[in-house]
Amino acid sequence: MSRSVVATAYGGPEVLSIVSTDPGEPGEGEVLLKVEAAGVNPIDWKSYTGTYGTDPSKLPIRLGQEAAGTVLRVGPGVEGIVPGDDVIAYRAPGAYSEQLVVRATATVHKPALLTWEKAGGLLLAGVTAMHTVVATRIGPGDTVLVHGAAGGVGSMVVQIARARGARVVGTASLVNHEYLMDIGAIPVVYGPGLAARVREHARSGVTAAIDTVGTAEALDTSVALVPDRQRIATIANFAHGAVLRVLLLGSGPGADPGTEIRAKARQQLVDLVVAGRLDVRLAGTYHFADAAKAHRAGIAGHARGKMILRP
């Protein structure tokens, strides 16, 4: 048996509990992991706070989408992975568990230099960030505006764009400006007058923009600054983005899921980590028993970097 964090009802983080679950045996193309770390992401609390509905038949809801751990057993048809391998997995539904069965194709080998905590927080934000960078064709010579640059996805976008040779201007509150400079972005404060402040740092113009926050200001500013709307992407405001005819990326209505890009991104992200071009900044590590505390911090929006849970 395995211990797992689940939501037993709909509401706030107080509905989270630890229960015993049976991870089952790995089937065709699957592996069983001993989970060492699991990333905390907004989708986790949105699943039980009502964002996606309150269907009682879906309770209890197992939480978590990304994990890092050691392979315990492999199912039939699995190649290139053996028991004892350390891997990183996404997508890994139910990742807040001591043991978890995942698809072998959802895993990549964990490099030894990457800690369990950083490995557990690499892929969900990382593949989303890679999708935005690839879809907007960011490369050498570009000046990119990243909205919400200090967040989990935003900080990954900054680093990946920089690794591709782009210059990055990122929006954030003043308290996060030093952090943005540390990861290679030019920080600007969001709010009235944003476009003018960005122009001060982008005299030759802005060639691409990525919205990770979902405000109307982010998209309206992007459209005002970037000539080509097919080089503007949002992962957070599909309604307004559709009106403005910019790229909608992710799992929302009318969005491009970027399946192939995201599949390739797993190994690309690991390669960037090994090359020293990408780092997972950690906001805090919590025990499974403190999952509610981690979620409260995430909901409050004060976390800088990734929060991680460990069994």
151-186 pLDDT tens trace: 889 999 999 999 999 999 999 999 999 999 999 999
Whole-model pTM? 0.94
* Cα 211 to Cα 222: distance, rounded to the nearest angstrom: 8
CA-CA distances (angstroms) from residue 31 to 5, 20, 106, 181, 253?
A: 20, 20, 10, 40, 32
pLDDT at 305: 80
Q: 165: which residues sit within 8 A by CB, 6+ positions away?
A: 139, 140, 141, 142
> Helix, strand, or coil here: 142?
coil
> Helix, strand, or coil here: 219?
helix
**For residue range 199-208, what is the model confidence (pLDDT) as tens digits?**
999 999 999 9
How crowded is residue 125: how many other Cβ atoms within 10 Å of its Cβ? Answer: 25
pLDDT at 239: 97
- Yes or no: say if 286 and 294 are a contact pair by the CB < 8 Å rule: yes
Q: Going edge to edge, which strands form the sheet with 143-147? A: 186-188, 167-171, 143-147, 208-211, 232-234, 247-248
pLDDT at 301: 79
**∠ Cα 297 35 68 (to 5°):** 75
Q: Going edge to edge, which strands form the sheet with 2-7? A: 16-21, 2-7, 61-62
Helices (H), 108-234: 116-120, 123-135, 152-163, 177-182, 194-201, 216-225
Cis amide bond preceding 60, omega within 30: yes
pLDDT at 302: 65
Q: What is the pLDDT along the chain (311 residues), one digit of tens a residue?
A: 999 999 999 999 999 999 999 999 999 999 999 999 999 999 999 999 999 999 999 999 999 999 999 999 999 999 999 999 999 999 999 999 999 999 999 999 999 999 999 999 999 999 999 999 999 999 999 999 999 999 889 999 999 999 999 999 999 999 999 999 999 999 999 999 999 999 999 999 999 999 999 999 999 999 999 999 999 999 999 999 999 999 999 988 899 999 999 999 999 999 999 999 999 999 899 999 999 999 999 999 766 789 999 99
Domains and CATH numbers, the chain: 2-122+280-310 (3.90.180.10), 128-248 (3.40.50.720)
- Yes or no: say if 305 and 152 are a contact pair by the CB < 8 Å rule: yes
| Nearest by Cα to 270 from 86, 37, 30 | 86
